[in-house]
Amino acid sequence: MLFTGLHDPVKEVFKISGFNSIFRIFSTDEEALAAMNENSTAKNNTRKA
C-alpha cells in the first residue's frame, strides 16, 4: 500500500506510530507510480533470470 500527499501532521503520526516502516509514503502520485513501475520491472527481471 502506498500513501501520497500526506499533510505534515499525518506524516508525523505515521512516523511516531512506526507506520512509515510498514507503508511507503510519497510526496506525489507520480513518485508513487514511478516506484510501483520500478518494483514491477525489477520483479519481472528477477523472474526471467
Q: Which residue has the higher pLDDT, 45 or 1?
A: 1
3-class DSSP string for the chain:
CEEECCCHHHHHHHHHHCHHHCCEEECCHHHHHHHHHHHHHHHHHHHHC
pLDDT in tens, 6-42: 999 999 999 999 999 999 999 999 999 999 998 877 7
pLDDT value of position 14: 95
How many CA atoms does the CB half-sphere of 35 hold within 13 Å? 14
Report the distance separating Cα 34 and Cα 37, nearest Å.
5
pLDDT value of position 41: 77
CA angle 26, 29, 32 (to 5 degrees): 50
> pTM of the entire structure?
0.69
Q: Which residue has the higher pLDDT, 38 or 47?
A: 38
